[in-house]
Amino acid sequence: MADVRVLVADDQDLVRLGLRTLLDSEDGVTIVGEAADGLAAVEQARALRPDVVLMDIRMPGIDGIEATRRIAADPDLAGTRVVVLTTFEVDAYVFDALRHGASGFLTKDTKPADLVRAIHLIAAGEALLSPSVTRKVVREFASRPSRVLQPHPQLASLTDREREIVGLVGEGLSNEEIAARLVVSPATARTHVSRAMIKLSARDRAQLVVFAYRSGLVD
Q: Within 25-106, where are the H helices?
A: 38-48, 64-73, 94-99
**Cα 217 from chain centroid (whole Å):** 19
**Cα 142–chain centre separation:** 18
Q: What is the side-by-side strand order in the sheet with 52-56?
A: 29-35, 4-9, 52-56, 81-86, 104-107
- Can you tell me the distance from the alpha carbon of 145 to that of 55, in angstroms, rounded to the nearest whole number? 28
Per-residue pLDDT of the chain (219 residues; tens, 9 = 90+): 679 999 999 999 999 999 999 898 888 899 999 999 999 999 999 999 999 999 998 888 899 999 999 999 999 998 899 998 887 655 667 777 887 888 888 888 888 888 888 888 888 777 666 556 666 666 666 566 666 777 888 999 999 999 999 999 888 788 888 999 999 999 999 999 999 999 998 878 888 888 888 888 876
- Answering whether pTM is above 0.85, one says no
CA distance from start to end of the chain: 42
Angle between helix axes 160-170 and 175-182 (nearest 10 degrees) is: 130
Closest CA to 193 of 210, 174, 180, 171: 174
Do 8 and 36 touch, CB atoms closer than 8 A? no
